[in-house]
Amino acid sequence: MIPQSNSLIHLPLSGFNAQSIPPCQKLILDFEIGSAPDGTKWSISILVVKGEKAGPIFLVNGGTHGDEYEGPIAIQEMFQTLDPSHVRGTWLGIPVLNEPALRIHSRVGRYDQQDLARTFPGQAKGTLTEQIAHGFGQNVLKQADYYADLHSAGSSLRMVFLSGYGVVDNQEVLNTQRRMALAFGGDLIWGTPLYPGRTISQAAEFGIPAIYAETHGTGGARRQDIDRYREGIQNLMRFLGMLEGPYPTRPARFFRESGDVNQQEGYLQLDHPSPCRGLFVPQVDLWDEVVSGQPIGNIVDAAGRIFATVRSRRSGRIILVRHALSVNENDPLAVVVEGLE
């Protein structure tokens, strides 16, 4: 049985209080999170599984970007399988954080074209995307003890399965994040500098241990990727003591950590931007090993004439490659990570 929404009239998100929910509950709570310039009200659904026994508050969301579907479906399915009598603490699942972007199958907001993952901390009376950042940050994320943000490559890119975290100054938080990322799993466990505006940078400001995950994307959701995200959430809950059972403590394949901000490692959009508009013809695929200077692909015109050859900036492995091949200047084409042997 799936519980029904609390009400047709959505309450303001400032009224959300995870602590005040009685134990042994499974609820869907709908809240108003912002209003658009045309007056349209937008809401957010918080799925709550409050365990019989006391424990931490663990928040997980998908749909920070509106063209990423693996996280939303995994969180919806996780909610259906979790049994409050077997859970310690409180699981908060937000399948879709950014409904205005999801509604138009877009990375950015419907009214303001803003990227929610560049907008935190947002503002209460700002654009709709800024309202979402502010409302979510101040009223939901702030209440969490642990946090995970499930992304994917979205409609225009293709990525490996990875879990990542920001290399924060607080050593205790950093250690917890490493262990959270290991527990969640992935073919790459990746610690990188923390960039402003993200959900996980807001979590860092609050002192909340946080990870993010990435997976295949291409504008759909493969069953294997949804299942791996569900397994990741379950393993993370085991690590946090919310569920019984084993979880990974070692990387399955690759581990890398780099806190060097100057290298911009982990900033996926800036690694190999397209030098011009055209058709990108890739010469590499995910996990390929490349050497510095090796061609990643060509940008060609309609006749196949080469505008530019894009070369790898470093030796390493491909973890992201362009999927939608008609590109504009500065569109991300590939990400190469070194040190994955």
Applying CB under 5 A, which residues contact Zn ion? 65, 151
Sheet holding 88-94, edge to edge: 11-12, 25-35, 41-50, 88-94, 53-62, 146-150, 210-214, 162-166, 188-192, 254-257
Nearest distance from C-beta of residue 39 to Zn ion, angstroms: 28
Q: Considering the complex, state which of residue 26 and residue 65 has its C-beta at the smaller distance from Zn ion.
A: 65
Give the separation between CA 45 and CA 10, rounded to whole angstroms. 10
Q: Which of 113, 166, 115, 130 is nearest to 34 (CA)?
A: 130
Q: Which of 234, 229, 184 is nearest to 211 (CA)?
A: 184
Q: Considering the complex, state which of residue 48 and residue 320 has its C-beta at the smaller distance from Zn ion.
A: 320
Nearest distance from C-beta of residue 212 to Zn ion, angstroms: 8
Block residue for tokens 């009223």: 139
Q: Is 163 exposed, middle or buried (0-12, 13-18, 19+ CB in 10 A)?
A: buried
Q: Considering the complex, state which of residue 82 and residue 116 has its C-beta at the smaller distance from Zn ion.
A: 116
Going by their DSSP bridges, the two strands 88-94 and 41-50 should be labelled as antiparallel
Nearest distance from C-beta of residue 33 to Zn ion, angstroms: 18
Q: Which ranges of the chain does DSSP label H, i.e. alpha helix? A: 70-81, 99-102, 128-139, 171-184, 199-206, 223-239
Q: Considering the complex, state which of residue 68 and residue 288 has its C-beta at the smaller distance from Zn ion.
A: 68
Q: Considering the complex, state which of residue 50 and residue 216 has its C-beta at the smaller distance from Zn ion.
A: 216
Q: Given CA atoms 16, 18, 19, 22 in this order, what sign does their dihedral have?
A: positive
Q: Considering the complex, state which of residue 217 and residue 248 has its C-beta at the smaller distance from Zn ion.
A: 217
Give the separation between CA 151 and CA 148, rounded to whole angstroms. 10
183 close to 238: Cβ distance less than 8 angstroms: yes
DSSP 224: H
Task: Please give the residue whose beta carbon sits closest to Zn ion in the complex.
Answer: 151
282 close to 318: Cβ distance less than 8 angstroms: no
Per-position b or e across 117-148, b if 16+ CB within 10 A of its CB: bebbebeeebbbbbbbbbbbbbbbbebbbbbb
Q: Considering the complex, state which of residue 68 and residue 187 has its C-beta at the smaller distance from Zn ion.
A: 68
Q: Considering the complex, state which of residue 94 and residue 242 has its C-beta at the smaller distance from Zn ion.
A: 94
DSSP, collapsed to helix, strand or coil, labels residue 70 as: helix
